[in-house]
Amino acid sequence: MKVSLKWLNQYVDVSEFFTTPERLAEIITQAGLEVENLEDPSQKYKHVVIGQVVELGKHPDADKLTLCQVDTGEGSPRQIVCGAKNHKQGDKVVVATPGAVLPGDFAIKKSKIRGVES
């Protein structure tokens, strides 16, 4: 059975034991309940950030693609080749950066799309 720390804390005040998830798991195991593994769900999203579209342009070699300059707070904006037509300058967008793995085991990496780096 999977149990979240937030759910467990609704029934038992674990704050005095909770220095780390590993320590809490050790205490629960010592009490006679097996903790099979620990999982940090935020790790699935560590390469997914919010960015702001700062510039839009046409792809030089594809009518249905857009070149977006997106500020993700990492210095210079990222160039992203995009097929969506429903965005504009100033929009906040979700950006999967290289290293992200999206549902369906779709790994995000830097690549060239129709000759333009994305």
Kindly report, residue by residue over 63-77, the tens digit of the pLDDT.
889 999 999 998 899
**Claim to verify: residue 51 and residue 12 sit in the same structural domain:** no
**Claim to verify: residue 70 and residue 22 sit in the same structural domain:** no
Calculate the alpha carbon distances from 53 to 74, 77, 94, 110, 117 in Å: 14, 9, 10, 18, 17
**Claim to verify: residue 34 and residue 68 sit in the same structural domain:** no
**Claim to verify: residue 9 and residue 53 sit in the same structural domain:** no
**Claim to verify: residue 34 and residue 73 sit in the same structural domain:** no
**Claim to verify: residue 32 and residue 53 sit in the same structural domain:** no
Task: Give per-residue pLDDT as tens, 14-41.
Answer: 877 778 888 888 888 898 988 888 888 8
**Claim to verify: residue 16 and residue 68 sit in the same structural domain:** no
How many domains, the chain? 2
Q: Report the mean per-residue pLDDT for the chain.
A: 88
Task: Give per-residue pLDDT as tens, 36-61.
Answer: 888 888 888 889 999 999 999 998 88
> Would you place residue 4 in the very low, low, confident or very high pLDDT band (cuts 50, 70, 90)?
confident
CA distance 117 to 115: 7
Q: How many residues does the chain have?
A: 118
3-class DSSP state of 49: strand
3-class DSSP state of 115: coil
Structural domain including 21 reads: 5-39
**Claim to verify: residue 111 and residue 89 sit in the same structural domain:** yes
**Claim to verify: residue 13 and residue 30 sit in the same structural domain:** yes
Instruction: Identify which has the larger pLDDT, 44 or 97.
Output: 97
**Claim to verify: residue 92 and residue 71 sit in the same structural domain:** yes
**What's the predicted TM-score (pTM) here?**
0.67
